[in-house]
């Protein structure tokens, strides 16, 4: 799948005011909260395979959409020494026009991704070492594709499926505290259920400061949804940067 490099300038405007981390926040049993808006400079690939008889132009349309209209992403997490929870929200809007051998397409895609999970930390310290998590991944896909055959004697066709998908998500992450202010977190997870499989992997470096932590890393996300009439493959990958407000 071809990927066109796009810069996604997206962030929350003002989720919460920054609150200094209290000196007792690391005491046993205390909960630590983090709210992190972030930017993701993603390369995007979107493929559509449909069983609709669209003229004679074929049924697979690679790289149908690769222009980002807009995006919004944020992460919320709460953690104590042994347990925690997190939630991620991503919105991405895509739109593009494509010319194929025998027809052209005008496409729009609005996709919402929500993840919520409980975290178990079997290690001795919070946010260090291996952590396991499980929860729900919810995806809402609103796709509109107008097919216009080059042969003017053939009429246009509009495909407009709107569907939502709920998956069970399981994963793990490992955090290495290699310096007083620095940590490195590796995360990998997958989900299955209504989708045919969604995969997510990331590596994020964290630099701790008075009001929270700077986040810099790389993320890969692949979503595949299919039914008896169509198959949609959405892939996003690229560097990301953000700031986690801790309180």
| Tokens matching residue 13 | 């405007």
Q: Which letter does DSSP use for residue 28 in this model? A: T
pLDDT tier for residue 16 given thresholds of 50, 70 and 90: very low
pLDDT digits (tens, 9 = 90+) for 67-120: 565 567 899 999 988 899 999 998 877 777 777 667 777 777 788 889 999 999
3-state helix, strand, coil in the chain (%, to 5): 0, 65, 35
Domain locations in the chain as residue ranges: 37-53+63-246
What's the confidence (pLDDT) of residue 2?
Answer: 39
pTM for the structure as a whole: 0.74
**Window from 9-18, 110-119, 234-243 with minimum mean pLDDT:** 9-18
Decide if pLDDT at 139 tops 70: yes
Cβ count within 10 A of residue 4: 12
Report d(CA 199, CA 143) in Å as an integer.
Answer: 21
Token representation of residue 5: 């490099």
CB atoms within 10 A of CB 143: 23
- In CATH, the architecture of 37-53+63-246 is Beta Barrel (2.40)
Q: Residue 235: how many CA atoms within 13 Å on its side-chain side?
A: 14
d(Cα 108, Cα 94) in Å, to the nearest integer?
Answer: 6
Q: How many helices (H) and strands (E) does the chain have?
A: 0, 14
């Amino acid at each position: 799948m071809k990927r066109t490099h796009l810069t996604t300038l997206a962030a929350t405007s003002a989720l919460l005011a920054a609150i200094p981390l209290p000196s007792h926040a690391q005491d046993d049993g205390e909960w630590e909260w983090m709210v992190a808006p972030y930017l993701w400079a993603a390369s995007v690939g979107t493929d559509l395979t449909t069983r609709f008889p669209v003229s004679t132009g074929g049924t697979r349309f690679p790289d149908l959409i690769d222009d980002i209209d807009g995006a919004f992403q944020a992460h919320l997490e709460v953690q104590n020494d042994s347990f925690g929870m997190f939630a991620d929200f991503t919105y991405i809007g895509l739109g593009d026009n494509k010319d194929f051998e025998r027809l052209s397409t005008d496409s729009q895609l609005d996709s919402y991704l929500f993840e919520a999970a409980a975290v178990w930390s079997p290690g001795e310290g919070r946010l260090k070492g291996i952590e396991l998590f499980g929860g729900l991944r919810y995806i809402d896909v609103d796709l509109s594709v107008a097919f216009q055959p080059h042969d003017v004697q053939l009429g246009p066709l509009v495909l407009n499926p709107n569907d939502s998908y709920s998956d069970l998500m399981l994963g793990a992450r490992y955090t290495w505290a290699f310096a007083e202010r620095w940590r490195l977190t590796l995360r990998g997870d997958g989900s299955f259920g209504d989708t045919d499989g969604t995969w997510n992997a990331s590596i994020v470096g964290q630099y701790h400061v008075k009001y929270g932590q700077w986040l810099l890393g790389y993320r890969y996300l692949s979503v595949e949804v299919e039914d008896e009439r169509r198959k949609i493959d959405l892939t996003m990958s690229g560097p990301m940067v953000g700031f986690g407000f801790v309180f």
